[in-house]
Amino acid sequence: MGVYLGLDTSNYTTSAALYDETTGQVLMKKKLLPVKEKECGLRQSDAVFHHVKQLGGLIEELFSEAGRVTLSGIGYSAFPRRVKGSYMPCFLVGDLVSRSLSASGQVPRYAFSHQEGHIVSALYSAGKLDWLKEPFYAFHVSGGTTEAFLVRSEGAELAVTLLGKTLDLNAGQAIDRVGVMLGCSFPCGKQLEDLALQWEKPVTGKVSLKGADCCLSGIQNQCEALFQKGAEKEYIAKYCLSCVEAAVAGMTQEIYHAYGKKPLLYAGGVMSNSLIRQSLSQKFGGVFAQPQFSSDNSAGVAVLASMAAQGESLQPC
């Protein structure tokens, strides 16, 4: 039994976590990347710069709180998804730091996708790591991804089969663009939710579905039209979130119809939204990550590193 370090340097958040196999506990530190007012994200070069500035301090804070720790392994997010050509420069920071720590401490390191980290952190926080023994459906809904897939554990790795996806904007992008339009700060999810909660009347959003795929650019267009007509910000916020919920619900229903029912996991930052979560729970009863494990985080790759060391997941890189 050992302690494993996880590092995740996404385009939204710098994160470091320790997972203790003995206690099953995660200690995590994370910090959002700074984004200028009225902007909807960062260039990759800026994201890399901010990760370089932030990651060292977070690791110092993490180990200061944890006390004396001997690492048994290191997991890190190396790319967005485990598919050919999936690459973002921001993950090079985690690669560099993990390589340095691995060499200095003579401990193995393990490379995972950011998406795999989201899946496992959600399972961990929901107490459902045993789901990895059987196939299940998972949604990863964030600013960088809006996908649904079948997840299976196949020998040395997680096998992820894509079942549905966005054909244009990601859900988090739509939320951020609408949020910035309404005066929220990027990333806009929490502030947009707070606005939406102030509108007490029911709101029904609409989206376009093509089988289990969705088109989300219409959300931004519809909300901009409402804004131009002088609709109240609270209504627009709730309408935007209702559209996102309708998209995920529609995709879920199509997948159930095409492939049958299986255990269902919702992960990714957008799935921490209380309105979306409540509606989907009522309709499908799926499992959700705790909010701190829904947004970008390093807990999943720390847990995956532990599994890898036991020969249950990916091999050392």
pLDDT, one tens digit per residue, over 162-187 is 999 999 999 999 999 999 999 999 98
- List, for residues 220-275, the tens digit of each pLDDT value: 999 999 999 999 999 999 999 999 999 999 999 999 999 999 999 999 899 999 99
Which residue type does 127 have? G
Among 121, 159, 157, 82, which residue's Cα sits nearest to residue 291?
Answer: 121
Is the confidence at residue 315, as pLDDT, over 50?
no
Which residue type does 35 have? V
- List, for residues 50-84, the tens digit of each pLDDT value: 999 999 999 999 999 999 999 999 999 999 988 88
Model confidence at 312, pLDDT cuts 50, 70, 90, reads low
Predicted local confidence at residue 155, as pLDDT: 55
Number of helices and strands (H, E) in the chain? 10, 12
Is the confidence at residue 156, as pLDDT, over 60?
no
Which ranges of the chain does DSSP label H, i.e. alpha helix?
Answer: 44-66, 91-105, 114-125, 171-181, 189-197, 217-228, 233-259, 274-284, 291-294, 299-309
Taking the C-alpha atoms of residue 166 and residue 145, their distance in angstroms, rounded to an integer, is: 8
Predicted local confidence at residue 304, as pLDDT: 93
Q: What is the mean pLDDT of residues 288-292?
A: 88
- List, for residues 207-217, the tens digit of each pLDDT value: 999 999 999 99
Contact at 8 Å (CB) between 214 and 146? Answer: yes
Q: Phi and psi of 227, rounded to 5°?
A: -65, -40
Q: What is the mean pLDDT of residues 113-133?
A: 92
Q: What pairing do the DSSP bridges indicate for beta strands 146-154 and 136-141?
A: antiparallel
Q: Phi and psi of 210, rounded to 5°?
A: -125, 90
Q: What is the mean pLDDT of residues 278-299?
A: 92
Q: What is the mean pLDDT of residues 30-50?
A: 90
Predicted local confidence at residue 287, as pLDDT: 93
Contact at 8 Å (CB) between 254 and 209? Answer: yes
Q: In what order do the strands lie in the sheet with 157-165?
A: 157-165, 146-154, 136-141, 264-267, 287-288
Q: What is the mean pLDDT of residues 283-291?
A: 91
In angstroms, the Cα distances linking 61 to 6, 14, 27, 302 are 14, 13, 11, 17
CA angle 163, 177, 11 (to 5 degrees): 65
Predicted local confidence at residue 144, as pLDDT: 86
Predicted local confidence at residue 1, as pLDDT: 81
In which element (H, E) is residue 163 found?
Answer: strand 157-165
For the chain, give the longest Cα–Cα distance.
62
Residue 5: count of CB within 10 angstroms of its CB: 30
Model confidence at 39, pLDDT cuts 50, 70, 90, reads confident
Taking the C-alpha atoms of residue 32 and residue 173, their distance in angstroms, rounded to an integer, is: 16
Predicted local confidence at residue 289, as pLDDT: 87
- Mean pLDDT across the chain, nearest whole number? 93
Contact at 8 Å (CB) between 299 and 119? Answer: no
